[in-house]
Structure 1
Amino acid sequence: MARIKPLALLVQSKKKKGPTRISATTVIFCNLIVGLIVLSLVATYRNWSRRSRNALSTFEDTHSFADSKKYDLPGYAAINTSKGYLTVELFKDGSPETVDKFLDLCQKGHFKGMPFHHVIKNYVIQGGNFQGLGAAEDWTSKVRLHSQLATSPKHDAFMLGTLKTKDIKGFELFITTAPIPDLSDNLVVFGRVVKGQDVVQEIEEVDTDEHYRPKSPIRIINVTLKSEI
């Protein structure tokens, strides 16, 4: 092979192209593109962060309002009867739906003039607008049978409850006058008498007929809701 002379190598090296130069305009344009991308990402992040904070704030405000509304509900009801006053503590946490319905009916004056239509000594007094023989009369046959069953504080005397069944129109009120072991089978307990137990006992002592209906009318005059006793 013929050797290339040094002079020929020098000529060939001069003919090779050097590295391509990037113009200043291209550099500036690329920097602008990168800057715009960065600014767009920052703006997107800030907008997302602001929306997240607003959503969280709205969620907290809603729950705070719901909680405050729950705990602002009256916790007591003063029931004025023809035999005197009795005060009931409402179980807002234990029976919230029943308590809400009771409070709504109180505000509408539903219980004003309502009679206690069944009085069963050592058992319950029953009030409401139910015209037939109430459930309390049907339970009397169970009293002696279940008298030996274990009870809990929920089954104690002076508890306030209403029927579990939704078939009966209106809202029946039951106040126990003795511990009732099978109470949970029939009633939703949503309160207890904390003042005026003597009034309950006085109602319990009234004369009744063979169907446990008071011979002299006993009524609820009105109900006043209270936040504290």
Structure 2
Amino acid sequence: MARIKPKQLLIQSKTKKSPTRISYSTIVTWNLIVVLVVLSLYATYSHWHHRPILETEMDLLRTEHVGRSEDSTKTSRPSYAIIDTAKGSITIEIFKEASADVVDRFVSLCKSNHFKGIPFRRVIKNFVIQGGDFDFNGAAQEWILKAKANGENALSPKHEAFMIGTTNNPNNKGFDIFITTAPIPNLNDKLVVFGRVIKGEDVVQEIEEVDTDEHYQPKTPIGILNIMLKREL
């Protein structure tokens, strides 16, 4: 075998390709890419893993917010109304659990002095006294016949004497006030009760005793002078 001369070896070594070197910037770039991919995968996993918990917490917060809003609305309403009449004052306790639409409308009308000077249009002994915008249109006679019927209907607190309510009639654009003067059955479909008299029952009874005509209208006008709202007595 022929021996290669040193000069030829030197020439051959120069012609061989040296291994390619990876630059430092390339290594850093790839490391950053790997780190970003790992972080992205972790963030995606964490988001979907905790999403049911977050949704549950948000639902609870919404429920609490709605509950607090309803509670704050109820607590912001006045608890009492004082009806001043020519015969004296009648203090009404407004039920907290009464129809919100009815109570809010009553409160709004009181604040705008809507009831100031409105007369008691019907006074029916041992039944109701009525004031406000509504016209009976013959309904009073129908109620009286039912009230005098010898039924055995159980009476609820809504049917007791000295309860205050308004007509259960969505077509009535006004607002009438009824104060019962005796326990009356079958009123659920007639009145929306939203309070009760806690002081001034004697005034209610005095109004009940006024002389009326055949249509139950007082012969001597008597009405509401004003209604004042109060949070506390």
Answer whether TM exceeds 0.5 for this pair. Answer: yes
Q: 1:93, CA displacement in angstroms?
A: 1.6
Distance in 1 separating the partners of 2:135 and 2:32 = 86
Indicate yes or no: 2:109 matched with 1:110.
no
Describe the shift of the 1:23–1:128 C-alpha distance in structure 2 as closer, same or farther (beyond 3 A): same
In structure 1, what is the equivalent of residue 7 of structure 2? none
In structure 2, what is the equivalent of residue 202 of structure 1? 206
* One-letter amino acid matched to 1:129: D
Distance in 1 separating the partners of 2:138 and 2:110 = 22
2:163 to 159, 164, 170: 159
* One-letter amino acid matched to 2:206: E
Q: 1:76, CA displacement in angstroms?
A: 0.8
The answer (yes or no) to whether the contact 1:206–1:214 under 8 Å persists in 2 is yes
Describe the shift of the 1:163–1:134 C-alpha distance in structure 2 as closer, same or farther (beyond 3 A): farther
The answer (yes or no) to whether the contact 1:117–1:126 under 8 Å persists in 2 is yes
1:218 to 216, 219, 222: 222
The answer (yes or no) to whether the contact 1:147–1:180 under 8 Å persists in 2 is no
RMSD: 3.3
In structure 2, what is the equivalent of residue 97 of structure 1? 101
Secondary structure in 1 aligned to 2:225?
strand
* One-letter amino acid matched to 2:36: L
Indicate yes or no: 2:129 matched with 1:125.
yes
Describe the shift of the 1:135–1:67 C-alpha distance in structure 2 as closer, same or farther (beyond 3 A): same
The answer (yes or no) to whether the contact 1:115–1:129 under 8 Å persists in 2 is no
The answer (yes or no) to whether the contact 1:99–1:190 under 8 Å persists in 2 is yes
Secondary structure in 1 aligned to 2:34?
helix
Secondary structure in 1 aligned to 2:72?
helix
Describe the shift of the 1:70–1:132 C-alpha distance in structure 2 as closer, same or farther (beyond 3 A): closer
Q: 1:152, CA displacement in angstroms?
A: 1.1
The answer (yes or no) to whether the contact 1:146–1:182 under 8 Å persists in 2 is no
In structure 1, what is the equivalent of residue 190 of structure 2? 186
Identity %: 53
Q: 1:107, CA displacement in angstroms?
A: 0.9
* One-letter amino acid matched to 1:83: K
Secondary structure in 2 aligned to 1:200?
helix
Q: 1:82, CA displacement in angstroms?
A: 1.2
Which runs of no fewer than 5 residues in structure 1 stay unpaired?
A: 1-19
Describe the shift of the 1:63–1:38 C-alpha distance in structure 2 as closer, same or farther (beyond 3 A): farther
Q: 1:183, CA displacement in angstroms?
A: 1.2
Secondary structure in 2 aligned to 1:175?
strand
Normalised to the residue count of structure 2, the TM-score between the two structures is 0.76
Q: 1:138, CA displacement in angstroms?
A: 3.0
Judge which range, 173-182 or 26-35, deviates more: 26-35
Q: 1:208, CA displacement in angstroms?
A: 0.7
Secondary structure in 2 aligned to 1:185?
coil
The answer (yes or no) to whether the contact 1:126–1:136 under 8 Å persists in 2 is no
Indicate yes or no: 2:76 matched with 1:72.
yes
Secondary structure in 2 aligned to 1:215?
coil
In structure 1, what is the equivalent of residue 31 of structure 2? 31
Distance in 2 separating the partners of 1:228 and 1:218 = 28
Judge which range, 178-187 or 145-154, deviates more: 145-154
